[in-house]
A = this chain, B = another copy of it.
């Protein structure tokens, strides 16, 4: 697999809708922050040390014993266009900050199906992530852990017996782990319960972010829930806590969906129908409006109100309508109006095509 293949493909692993609880949990992610001793943290790296760091990491992948890890493609960011890097962000494989610069010692290692991605010299030297569909935190942790173990054989990790893994930002010290789930919670929003729930959750050491992580807006009723605390807990504790809370959220969201349907069937079907109708027939759609309307359609599909759309189509659309993907597909840069027009065309095409 080449990185081009991944850039061109609409499907990546997390979009698969055969995972558990995909009616509410779009994806589960585990990310491990690791740094190499004694190389300075990325924000202090000069070019010479940066290139050296990159080389050490590339060598570690090359020496990996596990065929899948050895086969991971490493794309240094100075070999990718700015648009290519934005594509990787929109596919949720890297972060906006990481993709912002074409540095020769930044880069991304990815496996074929896009479930494993290692950011090189983002905030830390390594951010090993595994992104799977549905609620699969343990599996994500296991897969990320395999990459971690494999690389560790050939790299000298910065580790302190008392503090654990040392990281660039103190909030990651310890396990270096951030586990998160992407939740679709339209019924909680409609029922006006979302703020209260997230207030309670923050008291449990959890935090909520938008679609593209830290500092990004919450759109389309998609909430990224993750652990706030990385120290004083084992990795298993973090995974367990987040899994338990996520299961409670799933149960609550499902109950509220049934309640809405029972008490306000017409209004619910109307809201969903209107959003579906607009998506199928509008000619100009902003990204935020489209994600908001797609949330209604996703709810309709998950509740069986809309029958002829596959959930996979909605996951593909969530990514395909982002600015970089639109421009990549159009083969040219586009201003906001033309992106909005192209976005409407793509949505119309996808929703009107015969679904399997």
Among B281, B283, B344, the residue within 8 A (CB) of A280 is: B281
- Whole-angstrom distance between the Cβ of A62 and the nearest chain B Cβ: 51
CA distance A267 to B344 in the complex (A): 12
Q: Give the distance to chain B from A298, nearest Cβ to Cβ, in Å.
A: 15
Report the separation of the CA atoms of residues A90 and B334 in the bound assembly, to the nearest whole angstrom. Answer: 49
Contacts of A279 in B (CB 8 A): 277
Which partner residue on chain B sits nearest A268 by CB separation? B283
Interface centre among A277, A278, A279 (most CB of B within 10 A): A277
Tell me, yes or no, whether A219 is within 8 Å of chain B by CB: no
Cα A282 to Cα B174 with chains together (Å): 52
* Interface flags, A59-84, vs B, CB<8A=1, else 0: 00000000000000000000000000
Report whether B281 and A274 are in contact in the complex, using a CB–CB cutoff of 8 Å: yes
Complex CA distance for A335 and B269, rounded to whole angstroms: 19
For the complex, give the distance between the alpha carbons of A29 and B267 in Å: 40
Tell whether, in the assembled complex, residue A337 and residue B266 are in contact, meaning their CB atoms are under 8 Å apart: yes
| 8 A Cβ contacts from A277-292 to B | 277-284
9 smallest CB-CB distances across A and B, nearest first, come from: A277-B281, A277-B277, A273-B281, A270-B283, A270-B284, A269-B283, A277-B278, A274-B282, A276-B281
Residues of B within 8 A of A281 (CB): 273-274, 276-277, 280
- CA distance in complex: A278, B273 (Å): 7
- CA of A284 to CA of B277, assembled, Å: 13
A contacts with B, residue count (CB < 8 A): 18
Contact with A277, one of B266, B267, B280, B341 (Cβ below 8 angstroms):
B280
Chain B residues with CB under 8 Å of A337's CB are: 266
User: Of B266, B270, B280, B284, which is within 8 A of A267 by CB?
Assistant: B284
Q: Inside 8 A of A266's CB, which chain B residues have their CB?
A: 283-284, 337, 341
Considering the chains assembled together, what is the distance between the CA atoms of A310 and B278 in angstroms? 21
The docked-state distance in angstroms from the alpha carbon of A267 to that of B284 is 7
Inter-chain contacts of A344 with B (CB < 8 A): 270
Residue with the highest number of chain B CB atoms closer than 10 Å, among A267, A270, A278, A281: A281
For this complex, 23 residue pairs linking A to B, each with C-beta atoms less than 8 Å apart, are: A266-B337, A267-B284, A269-B283, A270-B282, A270-B284, A270-B344, A273-B281, A273-B283, A274-B277, A274-B278, A274-B281, A274-B282, A276-B277, A276-B281, A277-B277, A277-B278, A277-B279, A277-B280, A277-B281, A277-B282, A278-B278, A280-B280, A280-B281
**Which positions 315-351 of chain A face chain B at CB distance < 8 Å?**
337, 341, 344
Q: How far is the CA of A337 from the CA of B265 in the complex (A)?
A: 12
In the complex, A230→B261 CA distance in Å?
58
A91 to chain B, nearest CB (A): 28
- A sample of 10 more A-B contacts (CB under 8 A), given A269-B283, A270-B282, A274-B278, is A266-B283, A266-B337, A273-B281, A273-B282, A274-B282, A276-B277, A277-B277, A277-B279, A277-B281, A278-B278
A275 closest partner in B (C-beta): B281
Which chain B residue shows the least CB distance to A344? B270
Could you tell me the distance between the alpha carbons of A222 and B162 in the complex, rounded to whole angstroms?
A: 78
* Cα(A281)–Cα(B344), bound, Å: 17
